[in-house]
Amino acid sequence: MNVPSKAEIGEETRSQLAGMALGDPELLMEGLEARANWQERSGLDPRTFSLVKIAALIALDAPPSSYLWQVANALDSADDLLGVLHAVAPQVGGPKIVAAAPELMVALGLSLPEGQQ
């Protein structure tokens, strides 16, 4: 694997990357609009759409920040999130369920069990 040489990075690119890293809503608006379009095209209601996306995040072993937005959109009951974990467990395997559970707990504002901090 070759190490890339230092690329020229313009100020606009640097600024947008920094904004995305900080979750700047203006920079993320295009993605949010695309999400709304995909949700509409799916034919699913917003809650179901988010539950399906949570299942995909579990399967992908997604980073913690990915769960926060989806959990907020999906939440009717935390029992639904537990149901998603149970539903995808046979397909994704135990390690991904174990990795996703604390992320869902954090997104719900719950304290992690002893030894998980």
pLDDT at 67 (0 to 100): 84
The string of pLDDT tens digits covering residues 54-69 is 999 999 998 888 888 7
What's the sign of the alpha-carbon dihedral 40, 42, 47, 53?
A: negative
Count each helix (H run) and each strand (E run) in the chain, helices first: 6, 0
- Does 106 share its domain with 59? yes
- Does 62 share its domain with 112? yes
Prediction pTM value: 0.67
How much is the average pLDDT of 2-23? 76
Coil, strand or helix: which one is 113? coil
Coil, strand or helix: which one is 3? coil
CA angle centred on 50, ends 106 and 44, rounded to 5°: 165
- Does 57 share its domain with 39? no
- Does 39 share its domain with 51? no
The candidate with the shortest Cα–Cα distance to 60, out of 111, 105, 15, 103, is: 103
pLDDT at 108 (0 to 100): 86
pLDDT-derived band of residue 117, with 50, 70 and 90 as boundaries? low
pLDDT at 59 (0 to 100): 94
